[in-house]
Structure 1
Amino acid sequence: MGDRYASFANSGPGHALVKRLGLPDPPRLRRDAALAGPVLFGGRPGSAVRDALTKLGADVIDTADPPHGALVFDASHLTDPAQLVALHEFFHPYARSLHRSGRVIVLGTAPENCGTTGHAIAQRALEGLTRSIGKEFGRGITAQLVYVTPDAEAAAESTLRFLLSGRSAYVSGQVVRVGPGHPPPPAHPDRPLDGRIALVTGAARGIGAAIATTLGRDGATVIALDVPAAGDALAAVANEVRGRAVQLDLTHPEAAGRLATHLPDGVDIVVHNAGITRDRTIAKMDAAGWNSVIAVNLTAPARITAELLDRGLLHDGGRVVGVSSIAGIAGNRGQTNYATSKAGVIGFVRAMAPELIGRGITVNAVAPGFIETAMTARMPVMLREAGRRMNSMAQGGRPVDVAETIAWLAAPGSGTVTGNIVRVCGQSLLGA
């Protein structure tokens, strides 16, 4: 089902009516791979971030003449709350100068890595700035905060490329942490996953199918997995990406061992996308409804990952990405089982990331908000409309928005991005 309101609002007469009545105004979002530009850069003198942007091919300018495609400010040098005035001095004159679907990126130092109390205070304050800008600027403009380990600006190139591109269209108001290191650049920038093997669970339809397609586009050999009942749809996806289809119920007691037989060459990327819902309030929910959701959404990813590690099938330098949900962050009435499982995915990421960093394996999660799928199309109309409008983009996201975020986390250049939970929700009003 399409978003008829958004289509109307983007028509000539509809846009005029929406503006006159003060109704939600969903912009057309740019989703291509091109970097927003020109980029007006400010902040720390001599910042290596500027060099990183130039290396990416961004059109970095010094002139303040608008319009701009992106505003990027390196705030890592702000070591005292009094110095936060520099943020106003940079953003105030240019708040209205950005193109539609423009980008705002602020870089800083994670508070836990600051040497003084004043430095930590100033750096934590950046979160309030970027989240507010994401809600104020409108017109499809996104705003992000990237905490970079000192002297590791080069490691942020993959993240900067994603956040400056149209592929991050439905990601806004997020905080990304980039650790130290020197990830190798991809041999083929247009196909950064060449030579990588990617396992995608729940790949038969919706978000899973989009993930498989996007990773395949980037060069990965995709192993698409889903339950036997989805066999026909799964085969279609696998054929489209020239990958392999595996029919398997991940909750089966022997699932992990059976999966291993389909991975003779191991795997480089594991995307735990498979998930189900059995919605009821906890007062009305039976044990079967609770247990099935926990088993598919949480127990299976943890067990499968452990089995792949124990058998040496997850290669060093690999990527593990779990699909959580804003329900796991904010909770949701009638979804205690689902919210519990998706919060558990966040716990899985937080626990596993430091354990695997020594092997160069990153563990991250995406947390989708309202995404236009067959499942959300079946929601009651008022709930569906609330989901679409209650975010800074005033519209639902697309499965490809989740897939592009996962492709960034899976890229070779994202080897120092680990332990992150990235919401793909258009900056939903729900949760943090």
Structure 2
Amino acid sequence: MTDRLLSFVQHPFGRRIARALHLPQPVRLQRRMDATSDRELAGRSVLTIAPGSVGPMPSLLAAITALGGGAAGDAPIQTLAIDATGCRDIAALRALFEQAQFAVTRLAMNARVLALTSAAMGDAAEAACAQAVNGFVRALAKEIGRRGATANVLVLQEGAASAESLAGALRFFGTDRSAYVSGQVLAWRKTPEAVTHETMTHETTGRAPRSRVALVTGAAGGIGMATARRLALDGLRVLCVDVPAARQPLEALAADIGGALLAADLTASDAVDELIDAIRRLGGLDVLVHNAGITRDRTLARMAPADWDAVMAVNLTAILTIDARLEAAGLLNDGAREICLSSISGIAGNAGQTNYSATKAALIGYVAARAIPLDARGGTINAIAPGFIETAMTRRMPLMVREAGRRLNALKQGGTPADVAEAIAFLAAPGARPLTGQVLRVCGQSLLGA
């Protein structure tokens, strides 16, 4: 689906007209959609500042170096890393203002800003100053969004600031893989080393490691198809699942990425039996992406019981049933990554979507509770909450509603299925283990639910 305004303002004549008419002037976003590499920051100019501290954490500098990041020098800054763990008093906040103000004047178009704060609280004054950083970065994200730039915050729990841990964060938040993720504040925790499939090597086991296996539901189009393709780029064997009516695109996808497929309606009990058998043949799951979902939009007063039941069955009941069956069969491998597709409608609500909003809010509660038992086995579970994404579903919206969805965010444009797929690939990667039980919004810092 073409965003005509985005295309129009890429030309000088179009920009002049848009400026004269006070229309939004979105910047075309730079995106990364290739396989993850060990040197994700290679070729990027990086500046690190540390207000309130003698200097940046050595582990942060080590992570940047390991990922191939180069000092910005006099070049425009493409990645700005803010070590704000020392912002514990008013003087430190003043230093944040001064150093960030200087850095912002040098930010490149499509720059990425990542701030690190500390979860360790002292007295009330220190807690206030630490929280101030969150508000500062969220406001900054709205200011720099007009340049296609983003800003996010990770709140480091005690012991979570190792070079390896921070490298896992920078691979996503410090690069163009997070092009449509902005204004987010997420807890980044310390994680114990666990011997799982992803850490076991040929040397430790005496045999070559097998490929990780992923399941993606709703894989025949939109976000699901983009996710299956993206996970395959990282070397995963993907089981692509969708309804029988989507068999043709499902077969084409599975053939293209070298994956497996199952055409089945997962709301049917016999279909879940088929799914369990298919997963057993693949040796269990290492990544589980619950993407399938439907809408049946009507105001509550006019909603038919069948519309309520259909949305509940696909968006919630099927997920609970599949997970329960996987646990009972022992098919969710240690160290597994589970990702549930929620929505900003589950955070803010949306008129005419009481059924849809209820199911998407339910998933937020689900991942928060399920994170605890999965953590004991080295696993994680998180929710992705997309905003306005250019898909067949949003194409059916009325024109003015569609335009409002595109523009009511800091980047003044809709996201793409690839933006969501990149976020899923990040959460599915070993380096994202410090993140669990949380909601990652892929919404361009949407004003809805902000």
Q: Contact 1:225–1:248 at 8 Å: present in 2 too?
A: yes
Contiguous gaps of at least 5 residues in structure 1: 188-192
Let me know the Cα RMSD of the aligned residues: 1.9
2:62 counterpart residue number:
51
Query: 1:131 and 1:18 mapped to 2: Cα distance?
Result: 26
**Mapped pair 1:4 → 2:4:** yes
Give the equivalent residue in structure 2 for 1:143: 151
1:305 matched to 2:323: yes
Map of 1:214 onto structure 2: 230
| Corresponding residue number in structure 1 for 2:89 | 80
For the residue of structure 1 that corresponds to 2:318, the secondary structure is helix
| Residue in 2 that maps onto 1:125 | 132
1:186–1:383 Cα change, 3 Å:
farther
Q: Which amino acid aligns with 1:409?
A: L
1:180 matched residue in structure 2: 190
Query: Structure 1 residue aligned with 2:308, among 269, 290, 297?
Result: 290
Match of 1:238 in 2: 254
Q: Contact 1:179–1:416 at 8 Å: present in 2 too?
A: yes
Partner amino acid for 1:134?
Answer: A
Say which is worse superposed, 193-202 or 366-375, in terms of deviation: 193-202
Are 2:300 and 2:354, in contact at CA under 8 Å, matched by a contact in 1? yes
In the TM superposition, what whole-angstrom CA distance separates every residue of 1:285-339 from its partner, at most 9, and x where no partner exists? Answer: 0111011111111121122112212211000000000000000011101111101
Give the aligned partner of residue 38 of structure 1: 45
Contact 1:66-1:98 at 8 Å conserved across structures:
no
CA distance in 2, matches of 1:117, 1:95: 30
Deviates further, 30-39 or 245-254: 30-39
1:277 pairs with 273, 295, 298, which one?
295
Distance 2:369 2:381 in 1: 9
Greater Cα shift, 256-265 or 208-217: 256-265
CA contact (8 A) 2:48 2:56 kept: no
Query: Aligned equivalents of 1:2 and 1:196: distance in 2?
Result: 35
Per-residue deviation at 1:182? 6.0
TM-superposed CA distance for 1:133, in Å, is 0.8
Query: Matches of 1:131 and 1:185 in 2, distance apart?
Result: 35
CA contact (8 A) 2:231 2:425 kept: yes
- Secondary structure at the counterpart of residue 47 of structure 2: strand
User: Conserved in 2, the CA contact under 8 Å of 1:209 and 1:237?
Assistant: yes
CA offsets, 1:119-173, max 9 Å, x none? Answer: 3222222221111111101210000001122332231311211111111111111
2: CA distance, partners of 1:118 / 1:185:
41
User: Greater CA deviation, 259-268 or 74-83?
Assistant: 74-83
Structure 2 unpaired stretches of 5+: 35-39, 202-208
Distance 2:99 2:160 in 1: 24
Q: Does 1:90 align with 2:106?
A: no
Counterparts of 2:324 and 2:70 in 1: how far apart (Å)? Answer: 44
Structure 1 96/430 Cα, relative in aligned 2: closer, same or farther at 3 Å?
same
Aligned mates of 1:54, 1:9 — CA distance in 2: 37
* Match in the other structure for 1:190: none
Letter in structure 2 aligned against 1:167: R
Render the CA deviation track for 1:219-248: whole Å, top value 9, x for unaligned: 100000011111111111111111011112
106, 112, 117: which one aligns with 2:115: 106
> Contact 2:49–2:56 at 8 Å: present in 1 too?
no
Q: Which residue of 2 aligns with 1:20?
A: 20
Greater Cα shift, 50-59 or 336-345: 50-59
Q: Aligned equivalents of 1:209 and 1:426: distance in 2?
A: 21
Q: Is the 8 A contact 1:81 1:121 kept in 2?
A: no
- Say if 2:171 is the partner of 1:164: no
Contact 1:186/1:413 (<8 A) preserved? no
Aligned residue identity for 1:90 = Q
Contact 1:107 1:146 (8 Å CA) reproduced: yes
Secondary structure at the aligned position of 1:371 is classed as coil
Identity %: 47
User: How has the CA–CA distance of structure 1 residues 194 and 28 changed in structure 2, closer, same or farther, with 3 Å as cutoff?
Assistant: farther
1:375 deviates by 1.5
CA distance in structure 1 between the partners assigned to 2:355 and 2:200 by the alignment: 40
Q: Which whole-Å CA distance do the structure 1 matches of 2:141 and 2:97 have between them?
A: 15
Alpha-carbon distance in 1 for matches of 2:271, 2:123: 50
What count of residue pairs does the alignment treat as equivalent?
Answer: 423
Q: CA deviation at 1:418?
A: 0.8
1:328 is matched with which residue? 346
Shift of 1:66: 5.1
Q: Structure 1 residues 120 and 310 mapped into 2: Cα distance closer, same or farther (>3 Å)?
A: farther
2:391 is matched by which residue type in structure 1? T
Which amino acid in structure 2 is aligned with residue 80 of structure 1?
Answer: D
- Three-state SS of the structure 1 residue aligned to 2:147 is coil
Give 1:81 deviation, angstroms: 4.4
What is the TM-score when the length of structure 1 is the normalising length? 0.94
For the pair 1:429 / 2:447, whether they are aligned, the reply is: yes
Counterpart amino acid of 2:93? L
> 1:46: how far off?
4.9
Q: Does the Cα contact within 8 Å between 1:50 and 1:60 map onto a contact in 2? A: no
> How much does 1:103 deviate?
1.1
* Cα shift at 1:400: 0.3
Provide closer, same or farther for how the CA distance between residues 312 and 211 of structure 1 changes in structure 2, counting only shifts above 3 A.
same
Distance 2:132 2:449 in 1: 18
